[in-house]
A and B are shown apart, each in its own frame.
Chain A
Amino acid sequence: MATQPLIKSKQTEKTINGISTQVVCTEFSNYIFIVLTQYGKIGTLISVTPDSRSADISIPMFTTKVLLGKDEALTHVCAKNLTAFVSQEAGNRPVLLGLALKDSSIEAIKAMKDVIKSCRVW
């Protein structure tokens, strides 16, 4: 098919703390879809939505919701930490995140954020 793909997508792989980490970012008009995985699977699916009422306040607020998988506090913390900047940069679009991590230490999360930045599609 000669037609250009309608969906913009970028992917990369990086070893973080000795663990192979894969990222796939996909842009939709109403969502940014990010898969961040150390298992090769989507794992836990989380939506990160900017709160509309905070648009006029300087501190942005987000609502995280586990759509599929184990609903743990740490999952919400990681999701918000990893993707709040994506939502802001993408014009307050919500983010759909597939998260499957072996290592969720703060150093690893910081490194993963940089990997997401390298797959900017928004």
Chain B
Amino acid sequence: MKLIDGHNIVSRVSTLFKQLNVAPPSLEKISFIQPDMDDYEKSLAEVLDENMRIAASEGRPLCQDCGVAQLFVRKGRHVDFTDGYTLTALLEEGVKQAYGEGFLRKSTVDSPFERNNPGTNLPAFIHFEECDGDELTIYGMVKGGGSENVSALTMLSPAAGREGVADFIIETIRSAGGKGCPPYFVGIGVGATFDTVAIEAKKSLLTQEVSDDQLKELIEEKAQSLDFGVLGFPGKHPIKDIFIRTAPTHIAMLPVAVSLNCHSYRCGKIEF
């Protein structure tokens, strides 16, 4: 049994979420400027590049919407924790510390109707996955309301195939327009069930995998018909990157989820 110090989890999760807000590993090698941009689109892309540079060098949040905190955990069966706390409690303590100490905006409210803000950015939204051995991997994701609100899920007929999936994704991006702050990092889940396909879409943003090249090519081809660019203004670059995870599903189903992520693409992971 691998015994991990609970304090260590709290402090590393706290560090991760502060880092995700100012200098996320997912944006490390990213520039939004493209050689084929006209001056108009380029001048907007330059602001986004400058935004990343300032955030990292001055420790300012990339975006004033510091998002909800999401965690995706892979936990081996030979891992346990000191101090008698649940892993959920340790993760949430780390998130709470990050948002407090990091002067980050707390956006999570306690109910969809009363909407009181406890000022902690809790609860965090956490998914667990069991695995063998003594691995503990914690992926963190910070995602704001703008791009979450334009994400979508549908249940297609299996006959729709890749063509139907690609059409749904393009229409989702078209109707999102500038609302979700493009250029988008597009996370796609295909297969599984109604509930789990959305998790697959988000996981693709974490792992940056493309498990179906044919679908990606089809989406890129159809994306030529989109008529907006950086931040929804005139231009040619509404999409920055596309990630896809496919999963087993039912004989009668073709679930599709698309998680649009804004240009502030804030994902990272820690391993123990």
**Chain B binds chain A:** no
Q: Which residues of A contact B (CB under 8 A)?
A: none
